[in-house]
Structure 1
Amino acid sequence: MKSRGVHLQYSFQSDGQRGADIQNPLFDLLSALRQHGSIQHAATATGASYRHVWGALKQWEQVIGEPLVLWAKGQPARLTPFAERLLWAEARARTRMTPHIEALRSELERVLAEALDGSHQVLTIYASHDLALPALREVAAEHHRLHIDLRFAGSMDALRALSEGRCTVAGFHVPPLEDARNLFAEALKPLLKPGVHKLIGCTRRTQGLMVARGNPLRLRGLADLASGSVRFINRQEGSGTRLLTDHLLAQQGLSSSFVPRYHDAVEDSHLAVAAAIASGLGDVGVGIAAAAEQFGLDLVPLVEEDYFLVCLKDALEHPAVQQLCEALAGTPMHNAVSALPGYALNTPGEVLSLTRALPWWHFRTRKEAHEARHAAE
């Protein structure tokens, strides 16, 4: 195939847009053809004529320099193997770019909001990847005159951004824990301090093993990942889900070396892991139920975890943070979260102390206990 340039553009429109839903006529057309099985049905689904769809496909074949459709007389038109690969590659690339696309769109929306109405409050949030937060941003903008500048990052990176003053609010998630002898305590305690930071209740969500529909490998838990034939897609280091996976393995007395390719195949978001599995590049990965649903996968539940927002205590008086809490507690947010598989609101918008929301915070980590004993000596 000849080298072809890729041109990107954006526009301002009256209707909103979610996630990485970037429209492209070629991939919209290929998706419709694969989904509906014929040019006639694809034309009906897209509101175009048969002649228009047929001509567009021929034109795209000339532009790309490769056949996209198998044209057999008397047979429904089908995508060529090249077109199938191209469609999946584009879907994976777009999904991988979701956090960056969200950040760019958020910045452009902030600029537009400030230009149109200087009274809008602006709040920068760095947060672990989550599918409820884009909905929160829309609710806040529509009902509370609050623009949320949302930047997705790993949980640890988000908390570091808060400590370095790069954001006002951060988002992270933790599973239920009984004491401080765990990886989450070791990772979180250096970044959060009782009396200095305050949590804001947000959601509870289900994480599990994302697998192909029907779970053909019959996977039931992390212990099943030891087989060398199971292709595991992991999350990046510093992400809350990577920490969760390490934690769940440790609970079963297992190390990361137990899972083949644990450090090799890595993606940066729940959706990117789901896209890799749906495209056949992997068999299983840890992720949220909503991401599995979006890509037609099944989920083997592992744990319910709490997703919190956090800010400095002094920031609670800021009008933008107060509007954030109101948006979380309102009916529109309740409706939005109810539509997400595996999600539920959990003390939404309520200000919580670290030690109240995370009871294990009272206990010392092994490192803290060692330092205390050393100081006593």
Structure 2
Amino acid sequence: MQTRGIHLQYSFESRGQRGPEVENPLFDLLNKLQEHGSIRHAATAMGASYRHVWGSLKHWEEVMGEPLVHWTQGQAARLTLFAQRLLAAERQARTRMTPHIEALRAELEHVLAQALDGGQLVLEIFASHDLGLPLLRELAQKQQLHVGLRFAGSVDALRALAQGRCTVAGFHVPHLPAGSPVFSSALKPLLKPGIHKLIGCSRRMQGLMLRASGASDRRLSLADLPGSGLRFVNRQSGSGTRLLMDHLLQAAGVDAAAITGYTARPEDSHLAVAAAIAAGQADVGPGIEAAAREFGLDFVPLVEEDYFLVCLKDALETPPVRALRAVLESAEWPAALQQLAGYGAPGAGQVLSLTKALPWWHFKTPKPHGGA
């Protein structure tokens, strides 16, 4: 059997690209055929000729060594089972690689920006995965601010800030006036009042994502998961969403070990969790509403949370951070977020103190009476 290698490449284009968008002629073709059901309509959608699309299809069948389309007289063209599996696997792999693709793209964009204009403002951000931040990066670029965006878990992003590997870090927390041992133990050592300053960024809805059932008011609580038989796909340790799940389960008195798959193979982004559920590898998982909508999943809201950016106090008035705050305060930022379900931007761009924005943090430990 002929060996089939995987070749990766990238190009410089005038148009932007974000998220798991990675162009490939084979999968572009299969997607159009699946969507339109005929070569003629797929060719029209692709802006290509019938002859070109037909030739491309035959070329890829020869390369893969398998038929890709079923043809039946009088019926729409259908992808073969092999082509369906190939398309689903590629989409999931591409989605899972999103944070790494974004990191590579950010590094290349940084190099290109410096080569074209050494005086352009540059800002490195390590941040917990979020669908709004690539939109923020696009808006910043229009204002001559290049944002090098790298996705990591909330804990890893804050560690990168502490180690000087970035100027700004992004993390997210729900409003927890009663406190949270889970969040406090994970994040408190990495945030120092008087040293760090918060910048309001966005607000988003977190919940449970499930394969679509057709029910308009589907309900499911965390307490329903143990013994339900539902397979859970979780986020990685150190991510803000994993901290949120641990906190909510602890608050509800639910044993995480009783949830099938809770500590099994985790995913590194909201989109990767959604892709795993859409592919049938799991039944339910945590994520933001926008990710659920992108993959056509049902969504059960659990809690609204604030997404914060944080920097050292000394960096607050530097030109790159001031430019970032200006973009966040502009009317374009909340307008851009309207395309994402469950997002808003109250207080975006405002500088906040840790003790006021996070009143549940309990920075000071009360001294015992009697001086003991």
Q: TM-score, normalised by structure 1?
A: 0.94
2:300 maps to: 300
What's the CA shift string for 1:192-234, capped at 9, x where partnerless? 0111110000100001111112367955111221135211110
Counterparts of 1:181 and 1:297, CA distance in 2: 30
Amino acid at match of 1:242: R
Counterparts of 2:348 and 2:125, CA distance in 1: 16
1:169 maps to: 168
Give unmatched runs, 5+ long, in structure 2. Answer: none
- Give how far 1:315 is off: 0.7
1:209 maps to: 208
Determine helix, strand or coil for the equivalent of 2:3. coil
**For 1:1-377, what aligned pairs fall within 5 Å after superposition?**
2-142=2-142, 144-214=143-213, 219-362=219-362, 377=372
Counterparts of 1:247 and 1:358, CA distance in 2: 16
Give the stretch that moved more between structures: 4-13 or 300-309: 4-13
Determine helix, strand or coil for the equivalent of 1:323. helix
Counterparts of 1:215 and 1:22, CA distance in 2: 30
Counterparts of 1:268 and 1:61, CA distance in 2: 33
Determine helix, strand or coil for the equivalent of 2:11. coil
Give the stretch that moved more between structures: 144-153 or 174-183: 174-183
Conserved 8 A contact 2:222-2:254: no
Counterparts of 2:77 and 2:339, CA distance in 1: 35
Determine helix, strand or coil for the equivalent of 1:184. helix
Return closer, same or farther for 1:2/1:346 CA change in 2, 3 Å cut-off. Answer: farther
Give the stretch that moved more between structures: 299-308 or 213-222: 213-222
Give unmatched runs, 5+ long, in structure 1. Answer: none
Q: TM-score, normalised by structure 2?
A: 0.95
- Give how far 1:182 is off: 2.8
Amino acid at match of 1:64: M
Conserved 8 A contact 2:232-2:260: yes
Counterparts of 1:317 and 1:139, CA distance in 2: 20
What is the root-mean-square deviation of aligned Cα atoms in Å? 1.9
Conserved 8 A contact 2:218-2:300: no
Counterparts of 1:253 and 1:83, CA distance in 2: 45
Return closer, same or farther for 1:359/1:141 CA change in 2, 3 Å cut-off. Answer: same
- The share of aligned pairs that are identical, in percent, is 64
Counterparts of 2:96 and 2:266, CA distance in 1: 11
Counterparts of 2:233 and 2:295, CA distance in 1: 15
- Give how far 1:166 is off: 0.8
